[in-house]
A and B are shown apart, each in its own frame.
Chain A
Amino acid sequence: MAAVQGGMSDADIETDIKTEPSTDGFGNNNANDGRVLSASPGSGSSTGSNKQTAAVTPEDQQTLLAVLQFLKKNKLIESVEILRREAGLPENSLDPKATESAGAGSGGAAGIVDLEGGDVSSLLSRVTGSSSAGAQAPTKAVAEDQPDVRVVLSAYSQQGDPTLYEVYYSDLKKFIETVLDCHRAELSQVFYPLFVHMYLELVYNNHESEAKAFFEKFSGDQECYYEEDLRVLSGLTKKEHMRGNETLLDFRTSKFVLRISRDSYQLLKRHLQERQNNQIWNIIQEHLYIDIFDGMPRSKSQIDAMSGSLAGEAKREANKTKVYYGLLKEPEIELPLDDEDEEAENEEGKPKKKKPKKDSMGSKSKKQDPNAPSQNRIPLPELKDSDKLDKIMYMKEATKRIRLGSDNLPSVCFYTFLNAYQGLTAVDFTDDSSLIAGGFADSTVRVWSVTPKKLRKVKSAADLNLIDKESDDVLERIMDEKTASESKIMYGHSGPVYGISFSPDRNYLLSSSEDGTVRLWSLLTFTCLVAYKGHNYPVWDTQFSPYGYYFVSGGHDRVARLWATDHYQPLRIFSGHLADITCTRFHPNSNYVATGSSDRTIRVWDVLSGNCVRIFTGHKGPIHSLAFSPNGKFLASGATDGRVLLWDIGHGLMMGELKGHTDTIYSLRFSRDGEILASGSMDNTVRLWDVMKAFDDLETDDFTAATGHIHLQDNSQELLLGTYTTKSTPVIHLHFTRRNLLLAAGVSQL
């Protein structure tokens, strides 16, 4: 991105402001909004083509020229010819001088082309930068992938008297401070976005000293959770800084969403119109989205619970889509061997144990959950024999599972990584808790076996030929006994490994790294099978679907991608977050994906359509951990602010807030039955929460789902079941074994 902005000269911006009417700028803004909501490759490309056919805008022409220039530079003469013919451009359009004369003659659109001509390199870098997105056509990429900087900035061209900004702002402040208490909290929400926009406007129009004065005067009034953003803003004092600043672009391209009751809104509107306060009114009109609702104004605590994200709250419509959060029907597997095994293992208590289990399994599979997606909503891989065996193992283990509750807490086994020299960046356990994988800052991926069973590689091809393929224990025979060891190292990445995930069948391992790739490793040969390229920037997290085959990744480029292991290009691109995607999680039914981001929002995406179906706001810091409850109904999220928030996916509402941690929460996990939530944090503690109680308390209350307001109880202390402090080991991963033993992992800081 830096290259794009770096290459642009002041002159272009000036021209753009003059030639492009401001309504055009809006059109573009809306287009971006559209992009947010329809992000699947299919729908994305259709909008792209619509654009092209609509009219050959100057924009498109520029792009074409840029492409031509690029082709020519690379001596692809034939392609140049073809493309030129198709686009109907004059032969000499590539010659800068000729363009100049043409521009002088025809004016208008060509004029822009002319000015852009000198800037082809910057355009090119934009094209090349985003064309690697794969399926997207380069032209579309220019139009859509990057928010158009100049257009965005041009919206600031309106000139007002810089000295009056303070007057306007303090006038509004005075007004809001004097309105009735019930409206004050709601109207106060306006302060922050107004403050930022007014400040940026001052900066854009080169009123540096006024901008500084404005900032100093009013920055202290803003809510404390905007601290981080204010720090970024305070550094930004020059027009030149605005180009290339992502935070700013985010703020501009997306309208800040506020929820205000109708009464309060009317009050504000009346006041601004009375005072002829056009400056502020314009900002509200152009850059704010006010979601008006009928009914009682919200209280300060209600507002505080939901605000804090980079672009305000989620619009109510954003969370209206139906989400099929139910679980998929479990395939019915006969358990013939099971009985005998069980009998052999423990004679007494067997009949008691077996019966309820079978009943519960039976009833579950017979009754179709109305909230569950249909079984084939997304194609899932078929069960292999080995998967069935694993399922049987799982059920056996499940019968021995400890029922947890507030009076029956799980035991915690802590795995400390020693001698990692602060280099451990990611950890994952297999579902059956037999393997641990660690991603390290030195680019390596290591796998440990925590059972006596050692890790073995498959024999070489020559040796495999010698094996009797008909024998019963062929799977045992293919393993090379000489390679048995407790741990294996895998080399391949060229940067710290930030995300790691085992496939459910334990044959594969995924890792995502700073080098922009996601790698798939075989746990049979301990070699890299595929490097999935597409992100180009650090990939912060990746996770396998609970059914295998699919996986999701998200990173610094603000998009999450859905992949299938046998496709080298992503199947879906989920775009809409305004900052880095920091963590990604699959819904237990594999139909949805949740992503947490540095923009302090959580989004839930539909894997089928690629649409964003939920936006959760309320965190005051980048989100670093997510966990779905085993029944698929709830989502828990943890952030750098040390709070865990609980969400109801079906209603799209916040369910609770768990306060207690004093540092970033890097790990969250529900117990196998969903009664207890474990959270692990940088503050060296593992905490256990009684989420059953949290959910029950709220479910008895009536949801005021219509307005989406909730009253959060401050009952974190009652819900906290235990705090376990390590000596000096931040907890970076948690995992419940199938029997509900909690495993934790971290690297000692001693």
Chain B
Amino acid sequence: MSAMAEERRQKHCSVVLPTESMKAMAESVGVGQLQEDSCVALSEEVSYRIKEIAQDALKFMHHGKRRKLTTSDIDNALKLKNVEPLYGFQSQEFIPFRFASGGGRELHFYEEKEVDLSDIINTPLPRVPLDVSLKAHWLSIEGMQPAIPENPPPATKEQQKVESTEPLKVVKPGQEEEGTIQGKGQGTTTPDGKGQCLGLIRLKPRSTHELSVEQQLYYKEITEACVGSCEAKRAEALQSIATDPGLYQMLPRFSTFISEGVRVNVVQNNLALLIYLMRMVKALMDNPTLYLEKYLHELIPAVVTCIVSKQLCLRPDVDNHWALRDFAARLMAQSCKTFSTTTNNIQSRITKTFTKSWLDDKTQWTTRYGCIAGLAELGPDVIKTLIIPRLAIEGARIKAVMEGPVISNIDKIGAEHVQSLLLLSPKYPIPYHHLFI
């Protein structure tokens, strides 16, 4: 109680302009030597009047249905008081005041630049601003908010994050204001969410993953386009995945699609499809409205597979599977950065996995390459503590392969790539774009 009162008292403390400002203003209109008393009286009066005008200006802001007070509000408030408005007091900048000090005084002033009229006359006219127009969209259809770009995403990223990282929080009573009520009628929560979850026990709303017909069609189209043969269509589909705000409900399907797709295509050594799937992962990660944390258990194994798998293509000596490894490594690093927490320890687990197989002598060169690429992407700290100390050993191993008797061509190529990777890795970024764009 007292603390609150204290706080409020602070707010009410009347702020008065400093008397120095009065002096400065007096000087600016040619009145020198203003008495101290007059300064005090003036500053109190001026502060009071300014507050009055501010209050009136606020009224105009409210009626203008804005959150921001503008100079025109102040002008209108002045007009109410029969004072001539300050015409032409518009500013390009947020705070138009400049600071100056000298002679022991500090001063904020409004900079009035001299403008050359001929400059203004000679500059080409700016483009005419677009005219006001009307656009209609469905905010809600029979109580459900359609997931279209005009509407905000059905579940905000923060909400998804809270749901996935702190599932208990949503259940706690007293927090339901935003949590459960927001979900109501938006299709993300229980179908019986309309006003009936009133019992004393508040259950965590069960997510239903039933898709509407439109969503099923969309899913089919998108997945087909993503793994299809038409590159233009694929680009469009990926663009849609990366930007569409309404994908939240389809996320589990996409995640399963990717995970299953990788599993099948690794076995079949279908490099192209693996690349397409990784691009889908990238698009999902790029979507600002999605929070993938709940689906990492499917996505991470898929990505890691694409980094470290022994064989990713039919002809390892010719095909550029290295680029896929690089790309997937980047994705891995990105998800570590975004989702690693002290509870899931993604980064350290991934680091351990990579290091372990790298340290194993029997590891193939392809996997070796993937491990190093994966580690290298995790940032300078990882490079410093894990890669640099092993450079000498790795160098010796490469030398052995390169200079020793030719056992297999594949090994040689692998070693070459590891070598170039190790030479490259301190320099960011690893180029991989040539394949994908």
A666 interface hit (Cβ, 8 Å):
yes
B311-356 with Cβ < 8 A to chain A = none
Closest residue of chain A to B51 (Cβ to Cβ) is A235
Q: Determine the distance from Cα of A238 to Cα of B47 in the docked complex, in whole angstroms.
A: 12
CB distance from A437 to the nearest CB of B (A): 11
CB distance from A388 to the nearest CB of B (A): 31
CB distance from A16 to the nearest CB of B (A): 23
Most A-side CB within 10 Å, residue of B9, B65, B83: B65
Q: Determine the distance from Cα of A238 to Cα of B141 in the docked complex, in whole angstroms.
A: 58
A537 interface hit (Cβ, 8 Å):
yes
A213-259 with Cβ < 8 A to chain B = 215-216, 219-221, 224, 227, 230-232, 234-238, 240-241, 245
If the complex has contacts A230-B12, A235-B14, A496-B64, are A414 and B138 also in contact, measured as CB distance less than 8 A?
yes
Q: Determine the distance from Cα of A438 to Cα of B12 in the docked complex, in whole angstroms.
A: 39
Q: Is the CB of B12 within 8 A of A419?
A: no
Chain A residues with Cβ below 8 Å from B65 are 424-425, 666, 682, 730, 732, 747
Q: Is the CB of B152 within 8 A of A725?
A: yes
CB distance from B353 to the nearest CB of A (A): 41
Q: Which single member of A212, A622, A721 contacts B195 (CB below 8 Å)?
A: A721
Q: Determine the distance from Cα of A640 to Cα of B11 in the docked complex, in whole angstroms.
A: 20
Closest residue of chain B to A496 (Cβ to Cβ) is B64
A471 interface hit (Cβ, 8 Å):
no
Q: Is the CB of A419 within 8 A of B152?
A: no
Q: Is the CB of B6 within 8 A of A412?
A: no
Chain A residues with Cβ below 8 Å from B129 are 419, 421
Q: Is the CB of A450 within 8 A of B140?
A: no
Chain A residues with Cβ below 8 Å from B113 are none
A724 interface hit (Cβ, 8 Å):
yes
Which candidate, A37-45, A48-56, A401-409, is the interface stretch facing chain B? A401-409
B168 interface hit (Cβ, 8 Å):
no
B118-158 with Cβ < 8 A to chain A = 129-143, 145, 150-152
- The proximity string for A residues 120-155 relative to B, scoring 1 for CB distances below 8 Å and 0 otherwise, is 000000000000000000000000000000000000
Q: Which single member of A408, A580, A722, A730 contacts B59 (CB below 8 Å)?
A: A580
If the complex has contacts A230-B12, A441-B64, are A727 and B195 also in contact, measured as CB distance less than 8 A?
no
Q: Is the CB of B48 within 8 A of A726?
A: no
Q: Is the CB of A682 within 8 A of B67?
A: yes
Chain A residues with Cβ below 8 Å from B101 are none
Q: Is the CB of A582 within 8 A of B63?
A: yes
CB distance from B62 to the nearest CB of A (A): 7
B44 interface hit (Cβ, 8 Å):
yes
Q: Is the CB of A624 within 8 A of B62?
A: yes
If the complex has contacts A3-B82, A230-B12, A237-B44, are A409 and B140 also in contact, measured as CB distance less than 8 A?
yes
B68 interface hit (Cβ, 8 Å):
yes
Q: Determine the distance from Cα of A723 to Cα of B194 in the docked complex, in whole angstroms.
A: 11
CB distance from B299 to the nearest CB of A (A): 28
Chain A residues with Cβ below 8 Å from B143 are 409-410, 721-722
Chain B residues with Cβ below 8 Å from A727 are 150-152
Chain B residues with Cβ below 8 Å from A616 are none
Q: Is the CB of B145 within 8 A of A724?
A: yes
A407-446 with Cβ < 8 A to chain B = 407-422, 424-425, 436, 438, 440-441, 446
B221 interface hit (Cβ, 8 Å):
no
Question: What number of A-B contacts does a CB cutoff of 8 Å give?
Answer: 185
A686-721 with Cβ < 8 A to chain B = 686, 690, 717-721
CB distance from B104 to the nearest CB of A (A): 30
Chain A residues with Cβ below 8 Å from B59 are 556, 580, 598
CB distance from A685 to the nearest CB of B (A): 9
Chain B residues with Cβ below 8 Å from A622 are 62
CB distance from B87 to the nearest CB of A (A): 14
A589 interface hit (Cβ, 8 Å):
no
Q: Which single member of A413, A424, A440 contacts B136 (CB below 8 Å)?
A: A413
Q: Is the CB of A415 within 8 A of B142?
A: no
B31 interface hit (Cβ, 8 Å):
no
Chain A residues with Cβ below 8 Å from B198 are 717-718
Q: Is the CB of B151 within 8 A of A425?
A: no
Chain B residues with Cβ below 8 Å from A496 are 60, 63-64, 72, 76
Secondary structure of the B side of the interface? Answer: mixed
Q: Is the CB of A419 within 8 A of B181?
A: no
B64-85 with Cβ < 8 A to chain A = 64-68, 72, 76, 79-83
Q: Is the CB of A722 within 8 A of B184?
A: yes
Chain B residues with Cβ below 8 Å from A718 are 195, 198
CB distance from B338 to the nearest CB of A (A): 24
Chain A residues with Cβ below 8 Å from B14 are 212, 234-235, 237
A479-531 with Cβ < 8 A to chain B = 487, 495-496, 498, 514
Q: Determine the distance from Cα of A719 to Cα of B195 in the docked complex, in whole angstroms.
A: 7
Q: Is the CB of A450 within 8 A of B134?
A: yes
CB distance from B136 to the nearest CB of A (A): 5
Q: Determine the distance from Cα of A227 to Cα of B151 in the docked complex, in whole angstroms.
A: 36
If the complex has contacts A424-B65, A720-B181, A723-B184, are A411 and B8 also in contact, measured as CB distance less than 8 A?
no
- The proximity string for B residues 150-170 relative to A, scoring 1 for CB distances below 8 Å and 0 otherwise, is 111000000000000000000
B55 interface hit (Cβ, 8 Å):
yes
Chain A residues with Cβ below 8 Å from B195 are 406, 690, 718-721
Q: Is the CB of B132 within 8 A of A418?
A: yes
If the complex has contacts A414-B139, A415-B135, A624-B62, are A720 and B184 also in contact, measured as CB distance less than 8 A?
yes
CB distance from A174 to the nearest CB of B (A): 16
A26 interface hit (Cβ, 8 Å):
no
A2 interface hit (Cβ, 8 Å):
yes
If the complex has contacts A216-B9, A726-B139, are A409 and B152 also in contact, measured as CB distance less than 8 A?
no
B4 interface hit (Cβ, 8 Å):
yes
Q: Determine the distance from Cα of A253 to Cα of B286 in the docked complex, in whole angstroms.
A: 63
Q: Is the CB of B76 within 8 A of A412?
A: no
Q: Is the CB of A219 within 8 A of B12?
A: yes
Q: Is the CB of A417 within 8 A of B132?
A: yes
Q: Determine the distance from Cα of A718 to Cα of B6 in the docked complex, in whole angstroms.
A: 36
If the complex has contacts A241-B48, A412-B138, A414-B136, are A425 and B80 also in contact, measured as CB distance less than 8 A?
no
- The proximity string for B residues 172-212 relative to A, scoring 1 for CB distances below 8 Å and 0 otherwise, is 00001000011011000000001100100000000000000
A540 interface hit (Cβ, 8 Å):
yes
If the complex has contacts A411-B141, A412-B138, are A721 and B150 also in contact, measured as CB distance less than 8 A?
no
Q: Is the CB of B12 within 8 A of A446?
A: no
B437 interface hit (Cβ, 8 Å):
no
Chain B residues with Cβ below 8 Å from A450 are 134, 136
A538 interface hit (Cβ, 8 Å):
yes
If the complex has contacts A215-B12, A220-B5, A407-B194, are A238 and B64 also in contact, measured as CB distance less than 8 A?
no
Q: Determine the distance from Cα of A726 to Cα of B14 in the docked complex, in whole angstroms.
A: 39
A615 interface hit (Cβ, 8 Å):
no
Closest residue of chain A to B4 (Cβ to Cβ) is A220
CB distance from B5 to the nearest CB of A (A): 3
CB distance from B85 to the nearest CB of A (A): 11
B45 interface hit (Cβ, 8 Å):
yes
Chain B residues with Cβ below 8 Å from A240 are 45
Q: Is the CB of B137 within 8 A of A438?
A: no
Q: Is the CB of A744 within 8 A of B9?
A: no
Q: Is the CB of B51 within 8 A of A538?
A: no
Q: Is the CB of A414 within 8 A of B137?
A: yes
Q: Is the CB of B133 within 8 A of A418?
A: yes
A578-603 with Cβ < 8 A to chain B = 580, 582, 598
9 contacts between A and B (CB under 8 A): A227-B8, A231-B12, A238-B45, A410-B143, A411-B142, A413-B138, A496-B63, A722-B184, A725-B152
Additional pairs, 10, CB under 8 Å, beyond known A219-B8, A245-B52: A220-B9, A235-B51, A238-B44, A414-B138, A415-B136, A421-B129, A556-B59, A682-B67, A719-B195, A726-B151
Interchain residue pairs A-B with the least CB separation, the first 7: A220-B5, A409-B143, A722-B185, A412-B139, A414-B139, A412-B140, A234-B12
- Chain A positions within 8 Å of B, measured between CB atoms, are 2-3, 212, 215-216, 219-221, 224, 227, 230-232, 234-238, 240-241, 245, 406-422, 424-425, 436, 438, 440-441, 446, 448, 450, 487, 495-496, 498, 514, 537-538, 540, 556, 580, 582, 598, 622, 624, 640, 660, 664, 666, 682, 686, 690, 717-727, 730, 732, 744, 747, 749
